[in-house]
Structure 1
């Protein structure tokens, strides 16, 4: 999921779904998420460590660690980590993926419910997760948990909700039939603008300074099975009723097979945003 401007996205989503529904949002997609969601480019992980000036024995709080995709990248560098994950299925996967890291502790709770530890952490990391946190709580609680000069590190992997346009044109009728809410093609520029606004919002809340932002574009090719599995982890598809999602995927698969398409190229857009606590 790619966030819109924080207040817009969160307030809209929270007004429709209860806290319990949000906590269980990825329950049915947890295994798929762990399997196919892209990892964060090592180049951006390295830059995050540099920009945040993390010492070798840094202590990191991760907010919404999911199955531990970004966790492993930081744990590999020997940092001590406390990782919060409200979804039980995701939490179990994170524990499995981090068994080799004794300095990593996975806690099954949300950032909002977590008992605040003041000025303990060198950095707070949120990898495609901070848009799930109420802005009114998230920024102030993050600032309070950080040591003096500590950093908020936001990582994003923007995943297009449609295939490349030439392929989408073949599939448009299927979308119109089974998921009209997804029928309008979303341009990549929309995702980029949303991420840029999210970074600016970090500064606008007045608790952080010196926003540094870097981005990386890269490509991957997925089999049809993996591509549809990837789509199943995106919120616009999770929102669909199960029978509609299954019918949509069956329709997409049939049209792709008819056109002899056996793989889908995906253009990823990864972003790093680092800001220092005031």
Structure 2
């Protein structure tokens, strides 16, 4: 239910409206994902890292704690401010407020460029070419994505909530969504003239949400935030009522964090 379409470019600004909530409620990436990223990309404490679209710094913090020097470019001023507060004690982090597409960066200056659930928002004509330009020889690009997946037990809540989603069509496409199984997920698309795939791995995560918490999560999704406030209120109320009345007030939400690592050609 997340929009992954860069053509609706205005949606990528919506997260800035709910920066504190975004920081509180979005699912975290597992430690194993970062251990794998470090091992495959062979970065070390002398390496230079660039993060695109860090949000409030969930992925940034995980790597900052390991001592890496990171430059993070965040479009949203409110998100960047929360990130500065969250990472105040880490002097190895430089936070730039602005768009990756417009930020001046020196060629061949980074060993690793990474993006956690943000790379799909970058302009297609720029995201690979600019990443390639600023990476050193044999440098790596890592794309982390948060995928919504099937619980493979019938997806009771997903199916029960579809009439509500049908009533409030946030995408405008009137398409019934499908929850893939974990093993059906594939590596992120790459510009194969600039990068070669060297690693792909999935990291399943299950989070239990109360009815209120799940509505808070929904309120950090771009297509929901872009909807009229009255529509949002009615939709959230219907979802919360469904969870309280039919699912004992809480649900398990299944995610799969995908890690695609590519090497600069």
> TM-score, length-normalised on structure 2?
0.89
| CA distance in structure 2 between the aligned counterparts of 1:2 and 1:169, rounded to whole angstroms | 17
Contact 2:72 2:95 (C-alpha < 8 Å) held by counterparts: yes
Give the gaps of 5 or more residues in structure 1. Answer: 15-20
Q: Structure 1 residues 275 and 170, CA, compared in 2 at 3 Å: closer, same or farther?
A: closer
Which residue matches 2:177?
186
How far the C-alpha of 1:211 sits from its partner, in A, is 3.0
How far the C-alpha of 1:55 sits from its partner, in A, is 1.9
Equivalent positions of 1:84-99 (< 5 A) are: 84-99=73-88
Which residue matches 1:18?
none
Equivalent positions of 1:6-85 (< 5 A) are: 9-10=5-6, 12-14=7-9, 21-22=10-11, 24-85=13-74
Equivalent positions of 1:96-111 (< 5 A) are: 96-111=85-100
Which residue matches 1:156?
145
Which residue matches 1:213?
200
Aligned length: 262
> TM-score, length-normalised on structure 1?
0.85
| CA distance in structure 1 between the aligned counterparts of 2:11 and 2:243, rounded to whole angstroms | 33
SS at match of 1:93: helix
In terms of mean alpha carbon deviation, does 59-68 or 180-189 score higher?
Answer: 180-189
How far the C-alpha of 1:118 sits from its partner, in A, is 1.1
| CA distance in structure 2 between the aligned counterparts of 1:87 and 1:222, rounded to whole angstroms | 26
Contact 2:3 2:222 (C-alpha < 8 Å) held by counterparts: no
Measured against aligned partners, the alpha-carbon deviations of 1:225-257 in whole angstroms (never above 9, x if no partner) come to 111111111223223211101111112222333
Q: Structure 1 residues 202 and 176, CA, compared in 2 at 3 Å: closer, same or farther?
A: closer
Which residue matches 1:17?
none
Which residue matches 1:242?
229
Which residue matches 1:263?
250
How far the C-alpha of 1:108 sits from its partner, in A, is 0.3
Q: Structure 1 residues 192 and 157, CA, compared in 2 at 3 Å: closer, same or farther?
A: farther
How far the C-alpha of 1:261 sits from its partner, in A, is 2.1
Give the gaps of 5 or more residues in structure 2. Answer: none
Match of 1:202 among 190, 200, 205: 190
Q: State the superposition RMSD in angstroms.
A: 2.5
Q: Structure 1 residues 144 and 88, CA, compared in 2 at 3 Å: closer, same or farther?
A: same
